[in-house]
């Protein structure tokens, strides 16, 4: 991966053909870097963010609040929301190097790190970012299969009146999801999936709203609010389990808010003027407010409904079995959403590998040639078809090996939170804005980074403990729900 330190990420500026029919009337069809004019707005950027943020993570929040309790749970969620918004605002200022309006564009997260920090930090960032994106693909495959199984199980329970335990394997459902992702992965680049993000964002609101409504209904049926100020009580779990699960809860919350790793790529779809940073900050604010409101409502109402017994996945746990048709709608919405979210996260990784391959083998038809099919309406590239399909197959197989939803979610959140959401944005901002060392602002930014590092390490430890516990009773490819 030596090439990760080189400045090749992002396509070179397109050369403009003087004979182009649009050139005669001015360069209105091109941006300042020679690329086709970007058309993204605050609303499309918000749709991308909401698609990435309100993912499967929302379904584990009732469980997370259950581990922390009525005081620490909501407070932790608000703190994460503030940190994510603040560091995302810092990161959005790093899209352009130098002047915030006319400076050189950084097309990807790694471009921004290269421009501002350089050296070994570019390689470290690349390894962490793309490993995290790879992990997210695994987490989403697991979550989608669980939701597909939940549809089957809810109908099974309804048909048998709850007498049939309805055990089933997750493997066929992971394969179904993998096949669908192989198809959608052939969409060439990020600019062409806005429609998929909008559909996915609508789906995320759909299942979050159903989870919220069911939580409210169950709370009313219980005649009161369950749960305690300190979370799940020792006795229900051991003291050691209480510690591990509380730490894992922080990882789950971090995962639920994680999207900084694709923020620059989203920002690169936004048109200007106004400056991309200004638009992105507005989109981030809107998205964080919307998602935090949903997270608070879903997490808190789920905990209020089930207390210490809040399931790890609100819509696929043992909590809700009726009305079964509503659960089917919610879980179908989750699957549709995850199809889109998978693409939002993986497109930057796809683009990175393909740009590297084009640079390494510029004369290869296998890598660079586009074949028009369906009367030119569809473009097929053999390398893209082969490598993206192989990627999906690998993530699907690993998902079948490690189908531990909560633990995988917590570990992903912990590993990606500090370096990608806090450390690199803070360090790049300090360089970009020339913040003096040991000034009040510099010290505050470093304290924020250090505090988030401690939280990330603690959450990772808790999640690893959970995975180890799961592995003690697990046989590969034999998961049964």
How do 371-373 and 378-380 pair as beta strands? Answer: antiparallel
User: Is there a contact between 184 and 267 (Cβ–Cβ < 8 Å)?
Assistant: no
Strand partners, 96: 105
3-state secondary structure of 169: strand
Closest CA to 227 of 117, 74, 448: 74
79: which 2 tokens?
């703190």
DSSP string, 430-464: HHHTTPPTTSHHHHHHHHHHHHHHHHHHHHHHHHH
Q: What is the pLDDT of residue 476?
A: 59
Residue with tokens 């493997």: 171
Torsion of CA 267, 270, 274, 280, to 10 degrees: -40
Whether omega before 273 lies within 30 degrees of 0, making that bond cis, reads yes
pLDDT for residue 170: 78
Report d(CA 343, CA 350) in Å as an integer: 9
Spatial distance between the Cα atoms of 200 and 54, rounded to a whole number of angstroms: 9
Name residues whose C-beta falls within 8 Å of residue 366's C-beta, 6 or more positions apart in sequence: 382, 383
DSSP codes of every residue in 299-361 = HHHHHHHHGGG--SSTTTSSS--SSHHHHHHHHHHHHHHHHHHHHHHHHHHHHHHHHHHHHH-
**% pLDDT > 90, the chain:** 4
What span, in angstroms and rounded, lies between the C-alpha atoms of 390 and 435?
44
Structure tokens at 181: 């992702």
pLDDT tens track of the chain, all 481 residues? 333 333 333 333 333 333 344 444 444 687 666 677 777 788 888 877 877 676 656 767 888 888 888 888 889 889 888 888 898 888 888 888 777 777 788 888 888 888 888 778 888 888 887 887 787 788 788 888 888 888 887 777 777 665 666 777 778 888 999 999 888 888 776 556 667 777 877 887 787 788 788 888 888 888 878 878 877 777 777 777 788 888 878 877 877 777 777 788 888 888 877 888 888 888 889 888 888 888 888 788 888 888 877 777 666 654 556 677 788 888 888 888 888 888 877 887 888 888 888 888 888 877 777 777 766 666 777 888 888 899 999 989 888 877 665 566 667 667 777 888 888 889 988 888 888 888 999 999 999 999 888 888 887 777 777 777 766 666 655 555 5
Region of 189 please: left (phi>0), alpha (psi -120 to 50) or beta: beta
Residue 38's φ and ψ, nearest 5 degrees, are -75, 150
Looking at residue 163, its pLDDT comes to: 66
What CA–CA distance (Å, rounded) separates 94 from 433?
A: 9
- Helix 120-160 and helix 382-401: axis angle, to 10°? 60
- Tokens representing 363 are 């004369």
DSSP secondary structure string for all residues of 258-285? --GGGHHHHHTTB--SS-HHHHHHHHHH
Task: Look at residue 112 in the predicted model and tell me its pLDDT.
Answer: 85
């Amino acid at each position: 991966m030596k090439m990760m330190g080189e400045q090749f990420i992002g396509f070179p500026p397109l050369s403009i053909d003087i004979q182009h029919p649009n050139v005669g009337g001015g360069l209105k069809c091109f941006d300042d870097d020679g690329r086709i004019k970007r058309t993204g707005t605050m609303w499309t950027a918000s749709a991308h963010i909401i698609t990435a943020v309100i993912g499967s993570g929302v379904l584990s929040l009732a469980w997370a609040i259950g581990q922390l309790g009525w005081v620490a749970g909501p407070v932790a969620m608000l703190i994460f929301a503030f940190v994510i918004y603040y560091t995302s605002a810092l990161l959005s200022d790093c899209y352009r190097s130098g002047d915030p309006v006319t400076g050189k564009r950084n097309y990807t997260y790694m471009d921004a790190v290269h421009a501002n920090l350089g050296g070994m930090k570019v390689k470290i960032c690349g390894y962490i970012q793309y490993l995290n994106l790879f992990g997210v693909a695994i987490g989403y495959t697991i979550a989608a299969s669980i939701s597909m199984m939940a549809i089957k199980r809810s109908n099974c329970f309804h048909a048998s009146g709850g007498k049939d335990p309805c055990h089933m394997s997750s493997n066929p459902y992971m394969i179904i999801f993998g096949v669908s992702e192989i198809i959608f992965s052939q969409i060439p680049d990020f600019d062409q999936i806005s429609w998929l993000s909008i559909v996915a964002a609508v789906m995320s609101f759909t299942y979050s709203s159903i989870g919220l409504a069911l939580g409210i209904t169950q709370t009313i049926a219980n005649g009161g609010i369950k749960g305690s100020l300190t979370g799940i009580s020792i006795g229900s779990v051991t003291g050691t389990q209480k510690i591990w699960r509380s730490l894992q809860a922080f990882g789950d919350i971090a995962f639920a808010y994680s999207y900084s790793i694709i923020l620059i790529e989203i920002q690169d779809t936004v048109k200007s003027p106004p400056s991309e940073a200004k638009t992105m900050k507005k989109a981030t604010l809107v998205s964080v407010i919307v998602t935090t409101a949903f997270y608070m409502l879903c997490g808190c109402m789920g905990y209020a409904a089930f207390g210490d017994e809040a399931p790890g996945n609100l819509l696929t746990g043992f909590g809700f079995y009726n009305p079964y048709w509503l659960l089917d709608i919610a879980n179908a919405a989750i699957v549709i959403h995850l199809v889109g979210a998978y693409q939002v996260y993986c497109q930057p990784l796809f683009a990175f590998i393909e740009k590297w391959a084009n640079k390494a083998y510029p004369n290869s038809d296998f890598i660079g040639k586009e074949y028009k099919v369906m009367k030119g309406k569809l473009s097929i590239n053999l390398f893209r078809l082969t490598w993206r399909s192989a990627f999906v197959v690998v993530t699907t197989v690993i998902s079948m090996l490690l189908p531990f939803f909560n633990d995988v979610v917590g570990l992903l959140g912990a590993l990606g939170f500090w370096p990608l959401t806090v450390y690199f944005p803070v360090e790049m901002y300090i360089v970009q804005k020339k913040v003096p060392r040991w000034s009040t602002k510099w010290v505050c930014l470093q304290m924020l980074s250090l505090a988030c590092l401690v939280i990330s390490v603690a959450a990772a430890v808790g999640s690893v403990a959970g995975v180890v516990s799961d592995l003690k009773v697990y046989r590969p490819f034999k998961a049964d729900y």
